[in-house]
Amino acid sequence: MVTRIISAAAAIVIAVVVLCFHNTIVINIAVAALIEIALFELFRAEDCLKFKVTQTVCYVFALAVPFSNYLLRLSDSIMYYISAVFLLLMFLSFLGYYKTMKFEKLAFMIFITAFVSVSMSTLLYLNRTGGKNGLFYVVLTLCGAWLADSGAYFAGTFFGKHKLCPNISPKKTVEGLIGGVVTNGIIFVILGFGYLKVASTVIDVNYIILFVLGMICAFMGLLGDLSASLIKRQTGIKDYGNIMPGHGGVMDRFDSVLFVAPFMTIALGIFNILK
């Protein structure tokens, strides 16, 4: 327990420092580092580390995505070219590894590289396009991915009787899910109220939409958690890594973010929660 607390405290400090520099390239570097580590953990789980060339192609492409806003200054279509080259090199490497690599491995590496790099980079998109509210959107998204677990834990501990997905995640219960959903909605409303008080300009907050978004984020986070857990079940591993002692690897902490961040990017583009 002490190890988990110390590890979490250190992670929070690092996160706060990075967010303090949210208007600089520091946040791009931080997201890029998380993407690279997450990919390594997933490739290791699926026994893809032996395909060195294919791995390298994935890492290079994944590194380009969080810096796309800088690359687009060179050309409006540069990411199309980079994506095309990525796919071409991936299939060329497949030809090189034809004796040991099955197509399923290639498909996994292509999909997971695109999914993780794009999903994580939506945090940067929220920060960049949100203007003066960009940092709030990022914090809101991260809270939407992580804080539902607290409500789910307490609700599941005191009221949990019906297993949710016993074959994938034995500890999760239906009651815990309900608790997490309601908790997340309330947390979003509290965050909106808090931001209203500290905002430098006069704004109106749509608390109804905030509450609904918070609840949906709890569901999206659960999908991310269960998806990552399913991979662990099928590959026979307990954690993706030990970069955060007591918590596991990057994927163990950011699996829910991979689903919540894209959802919030779409939702905040449709619904105006701040006026």
100-143 residue pLDDT tens:
999 999 999 999 999 999 999 999 999 999 888 999 999 999 99
- The strand pairing partners of 139, in sequence order, are none
How far is residue 118's CA from residue 172's CA, in Å, rounded to a whole number?
A: 28
**216 and 259 share a domain?**
yes
**122 and 193 share a domain?**
no
Q: What is the DSSP letter of 201?
A: S
Please check whether residue 271 is in contact with residue 213, taking contact to mean a CB–CB distance below 8 angstroms.
yes
Q: Answer whether residue 2 shows pLDDT above 80.
A: no
- Compare 64 and 275 and report the one with higher pLDDT: 64
Domain boundary among 129, 151, 171: 129
**173 and 271 share a domain?**
yes
**81 and 211 share a domain?**
no
**199 and 224 share a domain?**
yes
pLDDT at 73: 87
How far is residue 267's CA from residue 1's CA, in Å, rounded to a whole number?
A: 36
Domain boundary among 97, 129, 161: 129
Domain boundary among 114, 129, 144: 129
**178 and 116 share a domain?**
no
**156 and 272 share a domain?**
yes
**147 and 264 share a domain?**
yes
**155 and 47 share a domain?**
no
**86 and 173 share a domain?**
no
pLDDT at 202: 65
Mean pLDDT of 166-183: 85
**113 and 173 share a domain?**
no
The parent domain of residue 172 ranges over: 132-275
Residue-averaged pLDDT of the chain: 90
Mean pLDDT of 56-71: 96
Q: Write the pLDDT tens digit of every residue in 192-237.
A: 999 988 876 768 889 999 999 999 999 999 999 999 989 998 988 8
The number of folded domains in the chain is: 2
> What are the distances in angstroms from CA 41 to CA 61, 74, 101, 105?
17, 32, 19, 15
